[in-house]
Amino acid sequence: MTIRVVRRTGPRPLSLAVLQSDGALGSPAARLAWLEAQLEDLVSRDERPDLVLTPELFAHGYNAGAAFKDLAEPADGPLSAAVTVLARKSGAAILYGFAERAQGRLYNSVQAVDAAGERLTLVRKRVLPPGPERDLFAPGGGGPLFTLNGLTIATLICYEAEFPEAVRLAARAGAQLVLVPTALSADWPVVARKLIPTRAFENGVYVAYANHAGAERGLRYLGESCIVGPDGEDVARAGEAPTALAATIAPHAVAAAQARLPYLRDLAGLGPEDGPGS
């Protein structure tokens, strides 16, 4: 992973909003309208976010199947232009999931733009889970870490965060916050309730998990989007309905958690030969 520096100031608290959207929203236009309404509502409640996280494939819906071939667009296409307008209007960086068309392939991608309309990161899902995704998308090459408010941020997409190695690599690269847009079905509650808090705890980092709600073309989503602190405890957690979560990401909490349980530092004491019984 590489780090692209966006702002050179020291770390300071970051206001994060995690949006849990209705899976049945429909067209990209309807989804963008919903996103705009959520941004306006957050601002009206004096919860103006620095960063907004949406679910996996938010712009098109996750369960679109063969329609992705027509829906997919380049990373600098009309969808990017529309989200850039919303980012500038709201004063927030926005990370959104979409189906990307590039070099004749389709990717399950996420992209973030800042309040000035500059791209912060473009991430293509590397590890595709068993099921339809493997027939629809090509595996990507991940994407760079980025900084916002001096905070170093990594992005993993859904299934990728279920591997302890993926979050560990991000943390060792310096990530203090790991963003995870997802499309978790109701069949896998253990992921949102157990695995994601564990990933935060075992690395001493914040993990933000943004899921869909309701149903989409027969696929029932779990909901339960969450923001988990570096101590493994929930900072905020959604239920089943569409909603917006808001929380402050505090860099000092990451430093404190990693000092209290120095897993990242002490990992150096474990070599490949140090298996059970060694």
56, 73, 133, 224: the active-site residue: 56
Q: Which residues pair with 154 in a beta bridge?
A: 178
pLDDT at 30 over 80: yes
Give the residue, 108 or 6, on which the prediction is more confident: 108
233 is catalytic: no
Active-site annotation holder among 73, 158, 224, 226? 158
Is 148 within 8 Å of 120 (Cβ atoms)?
yes
Task: Report whether pLDDT(17) > 70.
Answer: yes
CA neighbor of 162 nearest in space, from 187, 197, 137: 197
Would you state the pLDDT for residue 1?
Answer: 41
- pTM of the shown model: 0.93
Query: Tell me: the pLDDT tens digits for 104-160?
Result: 999 999 999 999 999 999 999 999 999 999 999 999 998 999 999 999 999 999 999
Q: Which of 31, 37, 1 is nearest to 17 (CA)?
A: 37
Any catalytic annotation for residue 69? no
Instruction: Check residue 106 and give left, alpha or beta (phi > 0: left; psi -120 to 50: alpha).
Output: beta
Q: What percent of the chain has pLDDT over 90?
A: 89
Q: How is the chain split into domains, by residue range?
A: 3-263
Q: Which CATH number fits domain 3-263: 3.60.110.10, 3.10.105.10, 3.90.25.10, 3.30.470.20?
A: 3.60.110.10
From 73, 100, 125, 224, the catalytic residue:
125
* Predicted local distance difference test score (pLDDT) of residue 270: 86
- Specify the 3-state DSSP secondary structure of 141: coil
**Mean pLDDT (whole number) for 211-219:** 97
Instruction: Specify whether 158 is catalytic.
Output: yes
